[in-house]
Amino acid sequence: MSDRATFLSTIQRALGKLEGRPVPVAPSPESGLSVAPANLIREAALVRDAMARDAGPLLDALAETARKGSWVVTRAGTHEDAADAVADICRRTGISTALRSTEDIFERVPVDRTLASAGVSLKVMARLQGGAEDATGSARAALRQAAFTVEAGITGGDYAIAETGTLVVHPRRGLSRLISLAPPRHIAIIERGRVLPSLDELFILERETLLRGELPSSMNLISGPSRTGDIEATIVQGIHGPLEAYLVLVG
């Protein structure tokens, strides 16, 4: 067994994946899904129960694998601590301008106030929902351009994957993929209880979302800073995304 296989096997055992895992059922011709709808809903409920029950060990496992994937990981006990951690990252790396998404996590993690105190100029991606709150086309273009001029993009994440150290992001209104891709640094905040054991569980939840007719149009899987290799396998960072990636784990 290779070193990688040994490592993943160790993580799987630590997460309890090798014992007591639900057995996939045969495809249902009526559903067009990989499992029958009733079984899919039941499996998704089991996944959410496991996320809550094993929240602590999953967060610990995520921290370990994310560090191996070149994330710079910071643990924060509270939401206030998480905001302080983001400000500390900005101070240590000389970040003076940033753009954040409008995810709900920022209603709990007060980065706006904390970064203002740290002297960081923070722009917020407009929540373009139509009506009186809708931004003009020029305002939207300005926000898109801001993603290429700020020094850091700050987001939450829909989930994180403990097995691979991966952040899962569904781009949507208020969460442009540019926030995590265009700036040279990406700072992501993940709360306890949002960590899945592996991609297998993620795809169970994604199929359930499809069943409800709510599947997003795209999904970004981010496993650290951008890396690519040429034909000689020379690794270069920052070609297709940020040079540095920071992960703040809350809880």
Whole-angstrom Cα distance, residue 185 to residue 241? 9
Rounded (5°) CA angle 110-180-163: 90
Mean pLDDT per 10-residue interval, the chain, length 251 residues: 62 57 42 68 93 96 95 98 98 96 95 97 70 56 85 96 96 86 96 96 92 84 77 61 92 94
Structure tokens at 98: 């940033």
User: Bridge-partner residues for 82, per DSSP?
Assistant: none
Half-sphere exposure of 179 (CA within 13 A, CB side): 27
Whole-angstrom Cα distance, residue 134 to residue 250? 32
Rounded (5°) CA angle 78-81-83: 115
Nearest partner of 200 among 53, 4, 2, 43, judged by Cα: 43
Q: For strand 152-155 and strand 185-191, is the pairing parallel, antiparallel, or unpaired?
A: parallel
Q: What is the model's pLDDT at position 242?
A: 83
Q: What is the model's pLDDT at position 161?
A: 97
Contact at 8 Å (CB) between 61 and 190?
no
Structure tokens at 235: 């690794």
3-state SS class at 190: strand
Q: What is the model's pLDDT at position 149?
A: 94
Q: What is the model's pLDDT at position 132?
A: 43
Domains of the chain listed by start with CATH number: 3-250 (3.40.50.10420)
Q: What is the model's pLDDT at position 172?
A: 84
Helix, strand, coil percent content, the chain, rounded in steps of 5: 40, 20, 40
Contact at 8 Å (CB) between 183 and 193?
no
Nearest partner of 52 among 195, 174, 177, judged by Cα: 195
